[in-house]
Chain A
Amino acid sequence: MLWNWDRTKLLAKMGIGLTGQIVASPCNFQVSWNPHDQSGSSIVVTGPQNTFKYLKYKVEEKEAYFAVCPSQINNGEENRSASQNYTCHAWSKDTGMLLVCTEGGEMLVCENTGEYRAYLNDSPLGHVIEAAYAFESGFLIAIGTSFLIFKSSPGDDRKPFKMIGGKTSIAMS
């Protein structure tokens, strides 16, 4: 649902296509605006059970609506089956790319338009990625009580982000 909250106006509404009971755990949903889109109308929704929607908010004849862009994140590469339970996402500040993380520890990189771009080989497989935070030149990924840092590597199409160092624990003793 899109609101102008100051005017208490519901501008547009659409379903994300999920049906039935959600059995995935963790069951994390996230919605965000594409901060690099000059029109300020692109929205991404991620969640469990293959929930990945790249939406455009449009206005025609004073009627607002959402249009779904046909971005399919999970048929990006053959011979690789990433989890379809997306736990979080973040927009790269320097490249504009979108990082989508899964409960299986996979890290999937999409173009700014939502199109699949690459799978990160340094992904922490077997660990639920609970949060992704974008800093000026990369991402910080939270897994349990540890985090990983990935920095952007311009010009490398296969590995647009590379892990720097190893897992850093924040556990208090």
Chain B
Amino acid sequence: MSFSGKYVFMCERGVEGKKGKLTIFETLSHKKKKTLPESIDQENSTTSPEFVAAAFSPREDKMIVTLTGAPDW
């Protein structure tokens, strides 16, 4: 959850060759705000089928750091 409590993220592991996804939801409305990666370019920047960790910035809700799994290490 973000430090303000406004957003929460959820990570999904891709199956059958698909890439992992990270989705951000608004906690109050339960609305989906964004799914990463979004573009083909961004999808091609990773080869892993999963996100293994992530964290919102304590200073800025809109910044998030993510860690993808093997073989991206």
Binary contact readout B60-73 vs A (1 if CB under 8 angstroms, 0 otherwise): 10111111111011
Do residues B52 and A29 form an inter-chain contact, with CB atoms below 8 A?
Answer: yes
Q: Which of A1-56 contact B (CB under 8 A)?
A: 1-8, 10-11, 13, 15-19, 21-22, 29-33, 35, 40, 43, 45, 47
Do residues B58 and A1 form an inter-chain contact, with CB atoms below 8 A?
Answer: no
What number of residue pairs across chains A and B have CB atoms under 8 A from each other?
A: 78
Residues of B close to A5: CB separation below 8 A: 24, 33-34, 36, 62-64
Residues of A close to B62: CB separation below 8 A: 4-7
Residues of B close to A31: CB separation below 8 A: 53-55, 65-67
Do residues B70 and A22 form an inter-chain contact, with CB atoms below 8 A?
Answer: yes
| Bound: A40/B55 CA distance, A | 13
Do residues A8 and B38 form an inter-chain contact, with CB atoms below 8 A?
Answer: yes
Among residues of B, the one whose C-beta sits closest to the C-beta of A91 is: B58
Interface residues on chain B, size class: 20 to 34
Do residues B73 and A16 form an inter-chain contact, with CB atoms below 8 A?
Answer: yes
Contact of A30 among B37, B53, B73 (CB under 8 A): B53
Most buried by A among B39, B62, B63, B68: B63
Q: Known interface pairs A4-B63, A40-B59. Does A29 touch B45 (Cβ–Cβ under 8 Å)? A: no
Do residues B34 and A8 form an inter-chain contact, with CB atoms below 8 A?
Answer: yes
B63 CB to closest chain A CB, in angstroms?
6
Q: Which B residues lie at the A interface, using CB under 8 A? A: 3, 24, 33-34, 36-39, 42, 45-46, 52-60, 62-70, 72-73
Q: Which A residues lie at the B interface, using CB under 8 A? A: 1-8, 10-11, 13, 15-19, 21-22, 29-33, 35, 40, 43, 45, 47
